[in-house]
Amino acid sequence: MYSPLPPGADDAGRAVAYPLGVRAGAAVQSSSRWSSPRDIGITVLLAAFLIGATFGAARHQPGHIVRHPDAAAVVLLAVIALALSQRRRHPVAVLGVVWALTLGYFLAGYPWGPIWLALVIAYYTAVARGHRLAGALAAAAGFLVFPWLDDLLGRGPGPSLGTMSALAAWLLVLFGVGEGIRIRRLRAAEAARLLEEEEKLQASDERLRIARELHDVLAHNISLINVQAGVALHVNGELPEQARAALSAIKEASREALGELRSALDVLRQTGDAPPRRPAPGLGQLPDLVTAARSAGLDVRVETEGVPVVLPAPLDLAAYRIAQEALTNVIRHAAATTVWIRVTYGPGNLGLRIEDDGKGLSLGEPAAGGSGIAGMRERLGALGGELRTGPRPGGGFQVTARLPLPAPVAAPVQARVEGEQ
């Protein structure tokens, strides 16, 4: 009768988006910190690499060095490493700082070395973080300035056409890689957002489904209990046999309500995909509804047209709930004496009509609580069916439901409603 909530959702539907929310919150919290032990460790290692590799590179280019690395170079490289540790939080600012410090490094006459790697990292990060204009401007400025530093400092001639072409190609490739990473991250974020929205929608649908089930289960049986309790109070002491029958009906309706409620609560407590302990009701249990309604004083007449077929469980449950809700509202609001139920197995669809001879407001009266017809429409709409309600010619009210039957049509079964007229 019930199916468990989707994995990761609780009975209020709140936990579905929880993991994504936690991850997002953690990311915001992490990005708000200026530094963490991990960042500090990376900064120290990067600074050590830049300084050590720069001194090592200086030994292999003695003829191209205007100024050997010294304490000022060490400080400058350490500042670059510190700036790079903040590249994810402030990519554009870090790119500008690293670009300027790299230019100052070479204008000071220090040797070529791994400082280029720091500039490449800052450039790539800015592009990958979506700051394409800043990355393009930094690349263009670097392309026009850095290749001419040797000539400016007297360390050699200007760059050749091949060198400039290779540098341009390298910058474009790096830009393309950063842009590709950015697009992939955007798609991943969009996919995560859509997944979260889908999970929230599923949780909302599940809550509505459970609300409909509990309404159908409890409203019907409690209405019967209310009617029978009134009968018992009215005839108590005067017609003991009728009072005893009313009390027996109260006991049976109470047992049924508690059983279905317990079944629903058992499913809500389940964490796996275990099947429900109690099978879902269907039109096979229509005689039980008829018997309960008759015990409440209604003259219920049932008619079946066509050849009954085996219905899919969701469709069978929906048909049962429509009949149950219609009878419940007749008992509660119609002041009727007779109810006609017609089940029609037509070509490609199942028809269900419930009519009463009451005052004509049994199912449409807003004061009745408002969720009866809306719940029936939602239930049928989910299965591609339709619902029509309105006054019955000659007085009373009628509910007509149509549910599409899947193809191929199931094998015929024996009529499941006894005592049809």
Q: What is the pLDDT of residues 260-282, one digit of tens each?
A: 666 666 656 555 555 555 567 88
Query: Of 120, 106, 210, 124, nearest to 175 (Cα)?
Result: 124
Q: Which pLDDT value is given to residue 302?
A: 93
Assess whether pLDDT exceeds 60 at residue 221: yes
Least confident of 87-96, 142-151, 352-361: 142-151
- Asked if residues 102 and 80 have their Cβ atoms less than 8 Å apart, the reply is yes
Question: Residues 68, 71, 77, 80: is their CA dihedral positive or negative?
Answer: negative
Q: Which residues have a Cβ under 8 Å from the Cβ of 25 and sit 6 or more positions away?
A: none
Q: Check residue 406 and report its DSSP letter.
A: P
Peptide bond into 91 cis (omega under 30): no
pLDDT at 418 over 50: no
Burial (0-12, 13-18, 19+ Cβ within 10 Å), 246: buried
Report the candidate in 336, 315, 317 with the shortest Cα–Cα distance to residue 325: 317
pLDDT band, very low/low/confident/very high, at 351 (cuts 50, 70, 90): very high
pLDDT reading at 381 higher than 80? yes
Tokens 């009628």 correspond to 398
Conformational region of residue 306, where left means phi above 0, alpha means psi within -120 to 50, and beta covers everything else: left
**What's the pLDDT score for residue 354?**
93
- Given a cut of 70, whether residue 102 has pLDDT beyond it is yes
Mean per-residue pLDDT, 336-363: 85
DSSP strands (E only) in 280-375: 299-305, 338-346, 349-356
Q: For 309-335, what is the mean pLDDT?
A: 86
User: What is the reported pLDDT for 226?
Assistant: 66
**Is residue 61 helix, strand or coil?**
coil
C-beta neighbour count of 419 within 10 angstroms: 11
Quote the pLDDT of residue 164. Answer: 63
Q: What is the pLDDT of residue 300?
A: 92
Contact present, 340 and 389 (Cβ < 8 Å) = no
Greater model confidence, 252 or 188:
188
The better pLDDT of the pair 397, 251 is held by 397
Decide if pLDDT at 342 tops 90.
Answer: yes
pLDDT higher for 420 or 106? 106
Any idea what the Cα angle at residue 173 is, between residues 172 and 175, rounded to 5°?
A: 65
Half-sphere CA count of 281, side-chain side, radius 13 A: 22
Query: pLDDT, tens digit, for every residue of 107-158?
Result: 887 877 788 888 888 888 888 888 888 888 888 887 778 777 766 766 666 5
Name the residue with higher pLDDT: 92 or 277: 92
State residue 3's pLDDT score.
42
What does DSSP assign to residue 34? S
Nearest alpha-carbon partner for 114 in 67, 42, 39, 56: 56
Residue ranges and CATH numbers for the domains of the chain are: 15-159 (no CATH), 281-421 (3.30.565.10)
Least confident of 181-185, 366-370, 383-387, 388-392: 366-370
Q: What is the mean pLDDT of residues 12-30?
A: 39
Give the predicted TM-score (pTM) of the model: 0.44
Q: How confident is the model at residue 291 (pLDDT cuts 50, 70, 90)?
A: confident
Which whole number is the average pLDDT over 64-74?
Answer: 79
- Residue 352: pLDDT band (50, 70, 90) is very high
User: Does residue 309 contact residue 388 with C-beta atoms inside 8 Å?
Assistant: no
Query: What's the pLDDT score for residue 333?
Result: 76
How many angstroms separate the first and last alpha carbons of the chain? Answer: 29
Burial level of 144, CB count in 10 A (0-12/13-18/19+)? exposed
CA 49/CA 81 separation, integer angstroms: 9
Q: Which amino acid is at 233?
A: L
Q: What is the pLDDT, as a whole number, of residue 420?
A: 44
28-to-39, 181, 212 alpha-carbon distances in Å? 16, 20, 39
Lowest mean pLDDT among 196-200, 258-262, 338-342: 258-262
Could you give the C-alpha distances from 41 to 44, 81, 115, 271, in angstroms and in order? 5, 11, 19, 42
- Dihedral Cα 34, 36, 41, 43, nearest 10 deg: -10
Which range is most confident: 93-102, 133-142, 179-188, 372-381?
93-102
Answer yes or no: is pLDDT of 412 > 60.
no
DSSP 135-202: HHHHHHHHHHHGGGHHHHHTSSPPPPHHHHHHHHHHHHHHHHHHHHHHHHHHHHHHHHHHHHHHHHHH
Q: How confident is the model at residue 67 (pLDDT cuts 50, 70, 90)?
A: confident
Q: What is the mean pLDDT of residues 339-345?
A: 94
